[in-house]
Amino acid sequence: MSPAARRRLVLALPWAWMAVFFLVPFGIVLSIAFAEPSEGLPPYAPLLRWSGEATAVLQLNLANFQLLLEDPYYLDAYLRSLRVAAISATLCLLVGYPMALAIARAPAHRRNLLLMLVVLPFWTSFLLRVTAWIGILQDQGWLNGLLLALGLIAEPIPLLYTDAAMYIGITYCYLPFMVLPLYATLSKLDPSLLEAAEDLGARPWRAFLQVTLPLSLPGIVAGFLLVFIPAVGEFVIPELLGGPSAQLIGRVLWTEFFQNRDWPLASALAIVLLAALVAPIALFQWRAGR
């Protein structure tokens, strides 16, 4: 067997996995997005319909996508989701970069322990971790109790069911996705570069800005995308911690799918969301390749 044939054989399994678990579900959702709602089960009409001459006719319904363009409710949900995801990814970067840098510069025998502490929350249920923040942020919760005990506030501060609570929950849950790629990049940096910068008279902050930060850009981009992409469609955290105004696209999708039972509109929402996420990533990879 030639090397090219062996290479194709090795790549056949991941390509088959992508076809079965991504392309096939995507095709099903795309077909539902072009269907019309119906009262039956499933609650949408099939695309292929039989005419009087026993011939199949493909009928595409573009009303769902037209509604997304005309109704400002859905456009606001998309824009709000993108803003929340961008802010959450930025907060994870501000918190996670010092953590990753500290772990990368820690002694070698302590790094595994520090990395274990970063991924330790993954050993518990995601829903349980989000629910725990309700007990922390509620009016009679631990945080308000601590502030009252220290005399910093005179009465409980409404923290739960606010945008701040939502950002705290997203930042806490997705922080490891920022720390791990940053650590993978920072741990590979050559320490002699910083020593050379110091020998040339660069202060520590200038050496960081001109040496460490530019060389860690691949980790920053990877971590930002790993946080941004799932945060756009996040449903659980805004539902449990966010206020009524936190109508992100994940909550809108859940409402259309389960409450309104409008599967075609919900599928169109998912397709547009996927396109809005994939297009910038594909453009970035194309420019990086050039």
Tens of pLDDT, residues 105-128: 899 889 999 999 999 988 888 889
- Cβ-count burial 136-152 (b if 16+ within 10 Å, e if not): bbbeebebbeebeeeee
Q: Tell me, what's the pLDDT at 51?
A: 59
Is the pLDDT assigned to residue 189 strictly greater than 90? no
Q: What is the pLDDT of residue 223?
A: 93
DSSP string, 73-116: HHHHHHHHHHHHHHHHHHHHHHHHHHHHHHHHTS-HHHHHHHHH
Q: How large is the average pLDDT for residues 265-269?
A: 92
Measure the CA–CA gap between 253 and 263, rounded to whole angstroms: 9
CA 106 to chain CA mean position, Å: 29
By percentage, how much of the chain surpasses pLDDT 70?
Answer: 95
CA separation for the pair 290, 281 (Å, rounded): 14
CA-to-CA distance for 267 and 43, rounded, in angstroms? 12
* pLDDT > 90: percent of the chain: 32
Q: Tens digits of per-residue pLDDT, 30-43?
A: 989 988 888 777 88
| Band of residue 53 on the pLDDT scale cut at 50, 70, 90 | low
- pLDDT-derived band at 8 (thresholds 50, 70, 90) equals confident
Min mean pLDDT across 53-62, 156-165, 218-227, 232-241 is at: 53-62
At residue 269, the pLDDT reads: 92
Indicate the fold that domain 71-259 takes in CATH. Answer: MetI-like fold (1.10.3720)
Q: What is the pLDDT of residue 144?
A: 87
CA atoms within 13 A of residue 167's CA, in its CB half-sphere: 15
The answer to whether residue 56 scores a pLDDT higher than 60 is: no
User: What is the three-class DSSP state of 14?
Assistant: helix
Q: Could you tell me the pLDDT band of residue 52, with boundaries at 50, 70 and 90?
A: low
Lowest mean pLDDT among 12-21, 216-225, 233-242: 12-21
pLDDT at 54 over 60: no
Q: Which residue has the tokens 């650590």?
A: 183
Best CA proximity match to 281, nearest among 224, 234, 233, 209: 224
CA distance 251 to 134: 19
- Phi, psi at residue 58, to the nearest 5°? -85, 120
The strand pair at 56-58 and 48-50 is best described as antiparallel
The amino acid present at 214, given as its one-letter code, is P
Average pLDDT, the chain: 86
Residue 44, helix vs strand vs coil: strand
Q: What is the pLDDT of residue 279?
A: 78
Tabulate helix, strand, coil % of the chain (nearest 5): 75, 5, 25
- Determine the average pLDDT of the residues in 164-174: 94
205: pLDDT confidence band, cut at 50, 70 and 90?
confident
Q: Write out the two tokens for 173.
A: 């849950």
Structure tokens at 75: 């456009």
Residues in contact with 235: Cβ distance below 8 Å, sequence separation at least 6, in sequence order:
248, 250, 251, 253, 254
Q: What is the pLDDT of residue 57?
A: 61
What pLDDT does residue 210 have? 84
